């Protein structure tokens, strides 16, 4: 009996020592600092945005199709009926939710890079504007953060101006993703949608168009500043028809967020990309960024690089319902000169050298 009691006492003492050792190790371990926690939150905010952008529409579509073959089929039927009823809403200004634009997560999203908005000239709320956003990059991070979220203070810098970012019309055909886009103030990059904002929504509207589009994303890579703009004149014609002033903007650092495998012109892979882009409206880029666990690993998250969007001086545009090609060409040249001036005056301030040039194709 005494032997049993002694053994139990010895085990109990050993257990207490083990517990004390474990507590000592736990207390001695390095706890995450506020900076670490802040970095994790910023990383998660970017992760949710990337997943929403790349997967929300496709996953929602797959789920609704799956539900058709289950007892929950009324959900799919009701949502289909809703989309049919609400089909034209994106073309008529959408359905923005100010609370989503002010969502706290966008401040963490902004601080991850960080993203900064720079104002060079005032925009009067008595006019409407078309803002040309350059370059496209891979995922248009700068355009999204500045013109969709309120995290960089666009509405405070330009009081009375309501920004709207345009994107592919096909995105508004995807379930749930269309609601997500409209809540942020996005609209399709179509004549009807842009015309509605510029003619039937009063004044003080600023429609941001990423003019280079999917074709420009194929040439996106760090250290390269090439824009697809020389033959993109539809936005100028729209501006003339509605008397909307043209405003150039350039996002420095946009092309540094990902690494892309760029295929040479004439190669079979480049040909496939271009054909896909013409059919679907977007280009299948082969790119990578950082991983979720480490900056040294590869994944689909953007690298943390400073992004600065500089909004330039408006080009005054008259209202001409049926502008001639000569007039369109004239204002297109004026816009390009204004954009080049904006780029050259700010390039050395935001990471480029004096010898860097803006190439326009």
Range of the domain at 295: 34-360
The encoded tokens of residue 315 equal 């080009």
Nearest to 108 by CA among 164, 160, 152: 152
For residue 344, is it within any domain?
yes
Is residue 24 in some structural domain? no
The pLDDT of residue 119 is 97
Q: Residue 180: pLDDT above 80?
A: yes
In a domain, 9, yes or no: no
240-285 confidence digits (pLDDT tens): 999 999 999 999 999 999 987 766 666 776 677 667 666 666 666 7
- The two tokens of residue 77 are 């039927």
Is 163 part of a structural domain of the chain?
Answer: yes
- pTM: predicted TM-score of the whole model, two decimal places: 0.87
Decide if 17 is inside a domain. Answer: no
Does residue 27 sit within a domain? no
How would DSSP label each residue in 98-124?
HHHHT-THHHHHHHHTTEEEEE-S---
Measured CA to CA, the distance from residue 235 to residue 219 in angstroms comes to 22
- Number of domains the chain is built from: 1
Q: Per residue in 309-325, pLDDT tens? A: 999 999 999 999 999 99
**Inside any domain, residue 12:** no
Specify which residues 17 forms β-bridges with: none
Residue 10 has pLDDT above 70, yes or no: no
Instruction: Show the DSSP H helices in the chain as ranges.
Output: 2-28, 34-51, 57-68, 73-85, 98-101, 105-112, 141-147, 154-157, 177-183, 191-199, 213-217, 234-242, 268-280, 325-346
Greatest CA span in the chain, whole angstroms?
Answer: 109
């Amino acid at each position: 009996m005494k032997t049993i009691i002694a053994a139990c006492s010895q085990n109990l003492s050993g257990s207490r020592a083990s517990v004390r050792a474990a507590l000592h190790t736990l207390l001695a371990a390095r706890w995450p600092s506020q900076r670490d926690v802040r970095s994790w939150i910023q990383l998660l905010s970017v992760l949710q945005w990337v997943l929403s952008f790349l997967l929300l529409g496709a996953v929602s579509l797959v789920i609704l199709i799956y539900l058709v073959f289950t007892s929950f089929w009324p959900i799919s039927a009701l949502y289909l009926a809703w989309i049919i009823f609400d089909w034209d809403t994106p073309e008529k200004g959408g359905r923005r939710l100010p609370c989503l634009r002010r969502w706290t997560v966008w401040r963490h999203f902004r601080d991850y890079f960080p993203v900064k908005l720079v104002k060079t000239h005032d925009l009067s709320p008595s006019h409407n504007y078309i803002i040309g956003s350059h370059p496209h990059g891979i995922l248009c991070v700068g355009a999204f953060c500045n013109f969709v979220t309120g995290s960089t203070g666009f509405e405070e810098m330009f009081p009375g101006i309501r920004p709207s970012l345009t994107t592919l019309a096909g995105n508004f055909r995807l379930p749930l993703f269309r609601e997500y886009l409209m809540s942020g103030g996005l609209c399709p990059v179509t004549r009807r949608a842009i015309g509605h904002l510029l003619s039937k929504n009063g004044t003080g509207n600023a429609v941001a168009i990423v003019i280079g589009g999917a074709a420009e994303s194929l040439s996106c890579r760090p250290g390269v500043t090439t824009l697809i703009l020389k033959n993109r004149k539809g936005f100028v014609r729209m501006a003339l028809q509605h008397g909307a002033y043209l405003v150039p903007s350039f996002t420095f650092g946009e092309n540094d967020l990902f690494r892309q495998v760029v295929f040479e012109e004439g190669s079979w892979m480049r040909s496939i990309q271009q054909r896909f882009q013409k059919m679907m409206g977007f280009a299948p880029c082969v790119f990578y960024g950082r991983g979720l666990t480490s900056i040294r690993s590869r994944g689909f998250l953007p690298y943390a690089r400073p992004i600065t969007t500089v909004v330039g001086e408006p080009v005054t545009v008259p209202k001409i319902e049926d502008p001639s090609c000569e007039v369109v060409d004239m204002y297109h040249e004026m816009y390009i000169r204004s954009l080049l001036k904006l780029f050259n005056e700010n390039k050395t301030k935001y990471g480029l050298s004096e010898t860097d040039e803006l190439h326009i194709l």
